[in-house]
Amino acid sequence: MPTPMIEAEVQHAARAWMDAAARRDVEALDRVLAAEFSMVTNRGSLIDKVPWMENMLHRVGPDFTPPEFLDVRVLVVGDGALMMSRTMLQATFDGKDWSGDMALTDVWVRRDGRWQILRRHASNLVAGAS
| Buried/exposed code over 3-25 (b: 16+ C-beta within 10 A; e: otherwise) | eeebbebbbebbebbbebbbeee
Angle at alpha carbon of residue 122, lines to 116 and 124, rounded to 5°:
160
- Mean pLDDT for 51-76 is 95
Residues 94-125: pLDDT tens digits? 999 988 899 999 999 999 999 999 999 999 99
Mean pLDDT value of segment 78-102? 93
Q: Look at residue 129 in the predicted model and tell me its pLDDT.
A: 63
CATH 3.10.450.50 at 3-124, yes or no:
yes
Full-prediction pTM beyond 0.85? yes
69 close to 46: Cβ distance less than 8 angstroms: no
The tens digit of pLDDT for each residue in 19-49 reads 999 999 999 999 999 999 999 998 899 999 9
Start-to-end CA distance of the chain, whole Å, equals 36
Predicted local confidence at residue 98, as pLDDT: 85
Strand-pairing partners, residue 121, are: 40, 105
pLDDT band at 3; cut points 50, 70, 90: confident
CA atoms within 13 A on the CB side of 56: 25
Domain ranges of the chain: 3-124
Q: Is the pLDDT of residue 83 over 70?
A: yes
| Residue 62 confidence (pLDDT) | 92
